[in-house]
Amino acid sequence: MQNLMNNYIEVGAIVLFGIGFMTLLLNNNMIKKIIGLNIMDTAIFLFFIARGYIYGKDAPIVVGEFKGVDGYINPVPTSLMLTGIVVSVSMTAFMLALTIKLHEKYKTIDLREILNMKEG
């Protein structure tokens, strides 16, 4: 319990990850699926950045004078997550484009309705 309280950011990230995962997996509406994907990705970003954060230290940007290596948090997770955001944005864009196509072809974006439709 104490561990959970101390690492509350990570716990929050995992809870968000679960919410996003289930939304992406179980929701039938395409738009809600995409929202679920975004929640899931954001949860991972939060987790990564929380692991890189060191209490009481600055963001790794030199403003004014350089405080030495110990003055800043770990910059690697932050920069990795920049890449992660780019990947997630392109995935979202692709899925939104597919949703438009889906609506064009089937006149609905509800996947259950589409599965119930007869092939024709």
Point out which residues bind other proteins (CB under 8 A): 17, 20-21, 24-25, 30, 33, 37, 40-41, 44, 47-48, 51, 76-77, 80, 83-84, 87, 90-91, 94-95, 98, 101-102, 105-106, 111, 114, 119
Q: Are 27 and 33 in contact (CB under 8 A)?
A: yes
The closest of 29, 40, 16 to 91, measured between CA atoms, is 40
Please report how close the Cβ of residue 64 comes to other proteins at its closest, in angstroms: 26
Which SS3 state, helix, strand or coil, does residue 54 take?
Answer: coil
Closest CB to other proteins among residues 25, 59: 25
Please report how close the Cβ of residue 73 comes to other proteins at its closest, in angstroms: 13
Q: Are 103 and 49 in contact (CB under 8 A)?
A: no
Task: Indicate the length of the chain as a whole number.
Answer: 120
Please report how close the Cβ of residue 59 comes to other proteins at its closest, in angstroms: 19
